[in-house]
């Protein structure tokens, strides 16, 4: 289970890095070199390959527990968003935004999207466990 969660975190980071580079380029910032871009693409493909191989070996019950665990991880990350993003405004122009700020916003958006996808994929039983676990964490 821990290995699968780490793979999901690595895959999420790789996707975030791709989106960050795409936005930087769109804003007219320094584009990554072709070797950097190739490295980022290789990283995403390798993470996807490792995750697919791991997922094949997981039983349905393990996938259910994994969905709930990953959703809880993402929920905690999103709860830290105020601290991570408090000094910045999403109304700021992206072309003037510091790279670290842009990366945090991209990461935050990717976390919200992944969490929504996980919550949508949960069975009613998984959703009940998830809600109960959230209540325990917040209580």
What number is the average pLDDT over the span 62-86? 88
Predicted pLDDT of residue 37 = 80
Predicted pLDDT of residue 41 = 87
Residues 6+ apart with CB under 8 A from 65: 1
Describe the crossing of helices 60-79 and 124-138 by its angle, rounded to 10 degrees. Answer: 40
The tokens 């980071």 sit on which residue?
13
DSSP state of 78: H
CA 1-119-117 angle, 5° bins: 90
- What's the pLDDT tens digit per position in 14-62? 999 999 888 887 776 666 777 888 888 899 999 999 999 999 988 988 9
- Domain spans of the chain, in order of start: 2-138
Structure tokens at 13: 């980071």
pLDDT higher for 4 or 1? 4
């Amino acid at each position: 289970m821990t290995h699968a969660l780490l793979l999901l975190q690595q895959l999420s980071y790789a996707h975030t890095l791709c989106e960050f580079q795409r936005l930087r380029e769109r804003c007219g910032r320094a584009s990554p070199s072709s070797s950097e871009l190739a490295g980022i693409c290789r990283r995403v493909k390798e993470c996807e390959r490792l995750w697919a191989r791991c997922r094949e070996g997981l039983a349905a019950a393990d996938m259910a527990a994994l969905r709930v665990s990953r959703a809880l991880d993402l929920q905690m990350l999103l709860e830290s968003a105020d601290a991570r993003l408090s000094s910045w405004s999403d109304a700021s122009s992206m072309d003037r935004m510091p790279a670290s700020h842009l990366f945090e916003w991209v990461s935050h958006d990717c976390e919200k999207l992944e969490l929504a996808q996980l919550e949508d994929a949960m069975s009613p039983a998984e959703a009940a466990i998830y809600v109960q676990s959230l209540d325990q964490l917040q209580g």
